[in-house]
Amino acid sequence: MAKRPSGAGEGPEENGQRAKRLKGTAGEGDAEDQNKRTPKRKIVLLMAYSGKGYHGMQRNLGSSQFKTIEDDLVSALVQSGCIPENHGEDMKKMSFQRCARTDKGVSAAGQIVSLKVRLIDDILEKINNHLPSHIRILGLKRVTGGFNSKNKCDARTYAYMLPTFAFAHKDHDVQEEAYRLSRETLEKVNGLLARYKGTHNFHNFTSQKGPKDPSARRYIMEMYCGEPFVREDIEFAVIKVKGQSFMMHQIRKMIGLVIAIVKGYAPESIIERSWGEEKVDVPKAPGLGLVLERVHFEKYNRRFGNDGLHEPLEWKEEEEKIAVFKEQYIYPTIINTEREEKSMMSWLNTLSIHDFNSSAAEMEADNKNSKNSDVEDSDGCNDDSD
């Protein structure tokens, strides 16, 4: 018996449906082929994210129990068709590099990553469609082929948001919600923060670096506390610090020492003493509130920003989107977590047990005891330790 040819005896409707199916399959194949044919280009992505619930920025392949920001980013890049799946498994294939490695729970309003992608249509929209709402790609720019976001970065600006009752003197009985920062105290805080400007030996502001280690010398361009503001009945302020690069724990210890001085636990002279060779007990402020605010590429911009082929790595047009993201995702997370967990108040209660005149031997013993906790709870400022 002769075999009926495919399509024989089918009605016009069935023929039409079959044609549509074939056309659809062909269309999907065409899209995939088009993606494969699209040349890869070196770009940078401007990222903002709330770090709560993540074990930092950097991906840890083979450690799926600790979710990172890059896990979600790479998944979105693959799903959107920007990179092949095997590039997600081996990030070197797309020349991926983050500008700063933020740590567990730390947020970012201006993280920059550089990588090679296929410049598909509506690329930002497609990537964001595959990301959770608390991670956003806010901008994209083409860069030179050899660009590396970590090596080309001249400076980083971090912000630290804290409740202002942290600056209340230890001898005053303070109600958290009632406290308001006085002009005099704010001026004192800013006078102390300004002392950090310049190049100093910050070996006392990190772990596992000795006073003679040249890498402990760091250059701070500016550091100041802005005007206070009220959220959820609690007054907050934001400290901003701009430096070439930062070591683990450095920013939190810089802020912790200023708080200890303003509260009356430590003398003002301890800042200068901490830059000397002796070991000084420097308290580490809580990680909550630390945000990678902005990264700077001033040398790159001078050389390539106006060459007619590349844009300067500045994000003036994205500033409004950055501000909206901070108000929607970063600040509420910090405020709500502070209200629920009271991390600042708990930490303030530990300041009295610090010995701001402790000897090197005492400090060495204390460091051994705290070594394990330091590894897990780092500052999120490991710009130069990748």
User: Is 103 an active-site residue?
Assistant: yes
Handedness of CA 353, 356, 360, 364 (dihedral sign): positive
Catalytic residue (choose from 71, 103, 281, 377): 103
Q: Which residues contact 211 (CB under 8 A, 6 or more apart)?
A: 201, 203, 276, 277, 278
Q: Is 158 within 8 Å of 291 (Cβ atoms)?
A: yes
158 known member of a binding site: yes
What's the rounded Cα separation, in Å, for the pair 45 and 74? 12
What's the rounded Cα separation, in Å, for the pair 267 and 257? 10
Q: Rounded to the nearest 5°, which phi and psi values hold at 294? A: -165, 150
Amino acid residing at 12: P
Q: Which residues pair with 346 in a beta bridge?
A: none
Max CA distance (Å), the chain:
103
What's the rounded Cα separation, in Å, for the pair 300 and 31? 36
What's the rounded Cα separation, in Å, for the pair 4 and 18? 17
Q: Give the residue among 138, 122, 132 at the shortest CA–CA distance from 44.
A: 138
Binding residues, as ranges, are 158
- Catalytic residue set: 103
Binding residues for substrate: 158
